[in-house]
Amino acid sequence: MRCPHCKQDNDRVVDSRLTNEGAVIRRRRECLDCFLRYTTYERVEETPLRVIKKSGERVRFDRERILSGMILACEKLPVSIELLERATLVIESKIHEGYDREVPSTVIGSLVMEELRLLDPVAYVRFASVYREFRDIQQFLDELRPMLESGSEEGSV
């Protein structure tokens, strides 16, 4: 495995753990050249899943797109990359459980919003505003209203 920092192929495995009900092996590695520690995930290669986009176009499923979208939504928020990686694994697991060959992009977007709602409400609203292509402030308020109402119910208990 090449180090993401110095690009050398000289590392050692510090720790290995099963995650995602044994479907993934998480390995902590240490570069023996620059001493950077980083995490890799090993999983069984399956039949490639394809995403059906809104336009009807079919593209290969890419978990990194999910993670990068969540990272962007959580920019400057107190959400760790480990939480985002864990959420990405949850999303990926749900997709593979429910779909064999093709999954609509709307399903992926809904799963991402569900996970972001649990992690951080601001990240959720950021992602939803781009994903749902809000055209005006009313659409934005319609998305916020259920969150605000559930927040006021919790405060009155």
CB atoms inside a 10 Å sphere around CB 126: 17
Distance, in Å, from the CA atom of 3 to the CA atom of 154, rounded to the nearest integer, reads 46
Distance of alpha carbon 136 from alpha carbon 35, whole angstroms: 50
**What's the confidence (pLDDT) of residue 23?**
85
121: Cβ–Cβ under 8 A, 6 or more apart, which residues? Answer: 147
Domain boundaries, the chain: 1-45, 47-155
- The token pair that represents 35 in the structure block: 């001493």
Q: What is the pLDDT of residue 152?
A: 55
Q: Determine the pLDDT at residue 110.
A: 94
- Residue 102: name the closest of 42, 52, 54 by CA: 52
3-state secondary structure of 140: helix
pLDDT for res 155: 44
pLDDT at residue number 29: 96
Q: Where are the alpha helices (DSSP H) in the chain?
A: 63-73, 81-98, 105-119, 121-131, 137-155
Give the DSSP H or E segment for 7.
Answer: none
Q: Give every residue of the chain whose pLDDT is below 50, as ranges.
A: 155-157
Supply the angle between the helices 121-131 and 63-73 in degrees, to the nearest 10. 120
| Per-residue pLDDT at 153 | 53
Specify the pLDDT at position 122: 92
What is the helix (H) or strand (E) element at residue 42, kind and residue range? strand 37-43
Radius of gyration of the chain (CA): 19
pTM above 0.75, yes or no: no
pLDDT score at 85: 96
The backbone torsions φ and ψ at residue 16, rounded to the nearest 5 degrees and listed phi first, read -130, 135
Q: What pLDDT was estimated at residue 156?
A: 42
